Amino acid sequence: MRETVKSKAGVPMEPTTPSRFTTLETERAELAAQQELLLASLMAQGKPPADIDEAQIKATASSLLRKRARCISRHLPAIANDRTYCGKIKEYVALIAQKIIDPTASS
């Protein structure tokens, strides 16, 4: 662990990002592009990345949806009885995700 940085008044300061961790720009850009595609396909009904099997994307998206549904129904048990509930969550997540990706898009 590195030493705590202190201001002139001796107050500990939040550590800043060391410059030696700002390398790997190419690797980070490549990774970001791959991850954005996967996230969009899982959450915003985007096109799946070419290097991931489409059936696996669907299974992951479905699993994520059930996880969210379980989480929400734990807090709001009555909603779990609504059979259309999962579909509504799916629509909601996709809508929010699409708005994040493109704020100018109409809903």
Residues within the interface to other proteins (CB under 8 A) = 1-2, 14-15, 17-18, 21-24, 26-32, 34-36, 38-40, 42-44, 51-53, 56-57, 59-60, 63-64, 67-68, 70, 74, 97, 100-101
Give first-to-last CA distance, the chain, whole Å. 48
Q: To which H or E segment does residue 88 belong?
A: helix 85-101
Written as six digits, the tokens of 75 are 């807090």
For 6, the 3-state DSSP assignment is strand
Q: Which is nearer to other proteins, 86 or 101 (CB)?
A: 101
Q: Measured from the CB of residue 10, what is the shortest distance to other proteins in angstroms? A: 20
